[in-house]
Amino acid sequence: MLRSSEKTVNGKVRKYYRITEKGRVTLKDARAKIDELAHEIIKE
């Protein structure tokens, strides 16, 4: 769901993370479920 890479900059290791396509789909589904839950609680 996340892909990571490391780069050394000025002697320090930096980690970079990128979301994968599977991660995008999972995030979209989770957001929809959270939105549904919020609407149930608020009763809009």
> Mind listing the pLDDT tens digit for each residue in 1-44?
999 999 999 999 999 999 999 999 999 999 999 999 999 999 86
- Which tokens hold the place of 12? 């320090």
> pLDDT value at position 17?
98
* pTM (two decimals): 0.69
Q: How many whole angstroms separate alpha carbon 42 and alpha carbon 1?
A: 31
> pLDDT value at position 44?
60
One-letter amino acid for residue 40 of the chain: E
Which residues have a Cβ under 8 Å from the Cβ of 13 and sit 6 or more positions away?
6, 7
- Please check whether residue 5 is in contact with residue 22, taking contact to mean a CB–CB distance below 8 angstroms: no
> pLDDT value at position 35?
96
> pLDDT value at position 43?
84
